[in-house]
Amino acid sequence: MDRFGWLNDIRIWVRLVAVIVAGTVCSGAGLIYWATFQQQKIAVDQARDFADSVHQMTMAGLTGMMITGSIAQRNIFLDQIRDSNHIESLKVFRGRPVVMQFGAGLAGELPDTDAERSVLDSGKARYEVFVGADGHEKLRAILPAIALTNYLGKNCLGCHKVESGTVLGAVSMEISLARANQTVRVFALSAMAAAALLCIPLTLFIWYFISHWVTRPLNRMTDGLLQVADGDLEEAPHLQRSGQDEIGQSIAAFNRVIDKAQELLADQRLSRIVFDNSLEGIAVTDADSRIQLVNKAFVDTTGYSAEEVLGLTPAVLKSGRQDGAFYSEFWRVLNEQGEWRGEMWNRRKDGSIYAEWLTISAVKTRQGLVEHYVAIFSDITERKKHEEMITFQAFHDALTGLPNRILFLDRVEQMLVQARRAKSRKAAIMFLDLDRFKQINDNLGHEAGDECLRTVAQRIRQCVRASDTVARMGGDEFTILLPEIGAEADVRAVAQKILDVMQMPLVLAGQEVVITTSIGISLFPQDGRDGETLLKHADEAMYQVKGSGRAAMFFFAPELMTRPLRRIEQ
């Protein structure tokens, strides 16, 4: 005997209400716990991001005052960062290489904890959450300063006689998490209170819903089945009766009429409801592809009413984008496999073209002959537009619309593949850097700087052919790929054209300014046989221009590689 058989005698609405409320309470508790945990994690992550920003700001300021700033000014700077950002403690200390070169500095500029020393030894940032003396959680962040050839716009190796990658020092700070934790606690308490208050009306609503929309229909269904059972119908196998509740009573009535009920009508009605209310367009044709039935979604998508397409073939929707070979393959697959799936472009009644994901299935008789074709499709035009937009954004610069570094290098590789096939082919890469562009941002603002970059991009594109590629590498750096050139003089002419057009004044923030550019050029194949090498050599040639007066061009020469690398302030 089933130990839980007694449950079958309890009214079904009581069981459903109990299960739903219990499930809702458990799910709500789990959701509140998860949300609270996520809020705490987000608070710590935000504190870590904040610490990274403070570290960058601190190092940027100290680097800027490295030469001209006094010790007193540096201390004032650190105090201002600490006070303005509500940081409980902020310390900048020196690593062993800096101590050996410049001395131990003032009190507090040397590490005094194992954590600080471990960051100096490993060069890896360290974050830890701990409980302070005031009983509140805090985040301790110790972030290293690494010697690089380009650290925050400066060459660390120029002042510190160390190898690239050496840990010069670190910044240590403590950030209070008390406010974030208080917010999390308030959120958790509010959520639990709201959930508790919600249980009462939720229980009443479920009770009302089930009693009126489950129990009552079941009772009506039982009455109807009993009425049907009164007719002359053949006997049918009985279902096992499970209890005395409404379901049990329905089963008892069903057992009387199951062999007599005609379910075909009910199935047909259900199929019609699904057909008419489907969000996907549906069309049913005969074996000759003549449309016999369409649903509302078909009408909404194509713009044709059912009366306009009945008796016609789906060719009325042809867009012309697919050729005869496409439809030949389409029918081959459909005839051989009985189904075809894929993308297709069709035309609406108003003439607009749309993309759809289409599935066509052949409905066959028992003898294997095609009786109908059923086509189900969904409009994917917006999705394809979104995919195209994402693809464009992945390979183009958002500000200027030019190809970015990824797309530029890809086109260089395509050029190299074609050049290897045609061994006599020549090409050139130009590396452009705007002269003193930083002054525009500093004096006129970043909006003026952005407008300047857009204007420069337009001017450069006007100086080259449609087959050439102009790209923005980042900041105020641009590159140009000339995939087919006749001689060096052709490249020189293009570069001179760019230099000339850059001499034209432009108006930024109400002021007329002239911004010039320095151009470095490398040629294929003599200056390199791969994209990275050609780009590097063009960059070296550009910096030769920077060092000799700017606003000019320079072709790469092998002797540049023997000179010490020197970056000029732009």
Looking at the structure, do residues 310 and 440 belong to the same domain, yes or no? no
Q: What is the pLDDT of residues 447-478, one digit of tens each?
A: 999 999 999 999 999 999 999 999 999 899 99
Question: Phi/psi of residue 142, each to 5°?
Answer: -120, 110
DSSP bridge pairs for 78: none
In sequence order, what DSSP letters do the residues of 420-443 get, joined into one string?
A: HHSTT--EEEEEEEETTHHHHHHH
Q: Is the pLDDT assigned to residue 22 strictly greater than 90?
A: no
Mean pLDDT of 411-424: 86
Residues spanned by the domain of 547: 396-562
Looking at the structure, do residues 177 and 314 belong to the same domain, yes or no? no
pLDDT at 240: 63
pLDDT at 259: 55
**195 and 32 Cβ atoms separated by less than 8 Å:** yes
551 located within any domain: yes
Looking at the structure, do residues 115 and 158 belong to the same domain, yes or no? yes
Find the distance separating the first CA and the last CA of the chain, reported in whole Å: 90
Looking at the structure, do residues 400 and 315 belong to the same domain, yes or no? no
Looking at the structure, do residues 328 and 477 belong to the same domain, yes or no? no
Query: Which residue's entry shows tokens 């959520």?
Result: 191
Single out the residue in 155, 182, 209 at which a domain terminates: 182
Looking at the structure, do residues 305 and 454 belong to the same domain, yes or no? no
211 located within any domain: no
CA dist., res. 113 & res. 455, Å (int): 53
Mean pLDDT of 49-58: 73
1 located within any domain: no
CA dist., res. 487 & res. 494, Å (int): 12
Q: What is the mean pLDDT of the chain?
A: 79
Q: Is the pLDDT assigned to residue 1 strictly greater than 50?
A: no
Looking at the structure, do residues 444 and 309 belong to the same domain, yes or no? no
Single out the residue in 336, 358, 384 at which a domain terminates: 384
Q: What percent of the chain has pLDDT over 70?
A: 75
Q: What is the pLDDT of residues 515-559, one digit of tens each?
A: 999 999 999 999 998 999 999 999 999 999 988 888 899 999 888
Which has more pLDDT, 454 or 111? 454
Q: What is the pLDDT of residues 136-146, one digit of tens each?
A: 788 888 888 88
Query: Which residue's entry shows tokens 């009455």?
Result: 223
Residue type, 227: Q
3-class SS of residue 92: strand
368 located within any domain: yes
What is the domain-level CATH number for residue 370? 3.30.450.20
Q: Which residues contact 11 (CB under 8 A, 6 or more apart)?
A: 215, 245, 246
C-alpha closest to that of 147 among 155, 136, 137: 155
Count of domains forming the chain: 3
Helix ranges (DSSP H) in 65-177? 71-84, 96-102, 114-122, 156-159
Assigned token pair, 518: 């320095």
Mean pLDDT of 419-431: 87
Least confident of 145-149, 400-404, 490-494, 563-567: 563-567
C-alpha closest to that of 29 among 193, 186, 201, 205: 193
CA dist., res. 272 & res. 294, Å (int): 11
pLDDT at 132: 78
318 located within any domain: yes
pTM: 0.43
Looking at the structure, do residues 468 and 552 belong to the same domain, yes or no? yes
Mean pLDDT of 412-421: 88
CA dist., res. 309 & res. 318, Å (int): 13
Looking at the structure, do residues 432 and 479 belong to the same domain, yes or no? yes
pLDDT at 518: 94
CA dist., res. 21 & res. 39, Å (int): 26
For the chain, what percentages of helix, strand and coil (3-state, to nearest 5) are there?
A: 50, 20, 30
Mean pLDDT of 48-76: 64
Give residue 152's region: left, alpha or beta (phi > 0; psi -120 to 50): left
Single out the residue in 356, 384, 412 at which a domain terminates: 384
- pLDDT band of residue 233 (cuts 50, 70, 90) is very low
Mean pLDDT of 270-298: 86
- pLDDT band of residue 442 (cuts 50, 70, 90) is confident
Least confident of 193-197, 244-248, 308-312, 537-541: 244-248
Query: Which residue's entry shows tokens 């972030």?
Result: 143
What is the domain-level CATH number for residue 437? 3.30.70.270
HSE of 450, CA atoms in CB hemisphere, 13 A: 8
Looking at the structure, do residues 311 and 436 belong to the same domain, yes or no? no
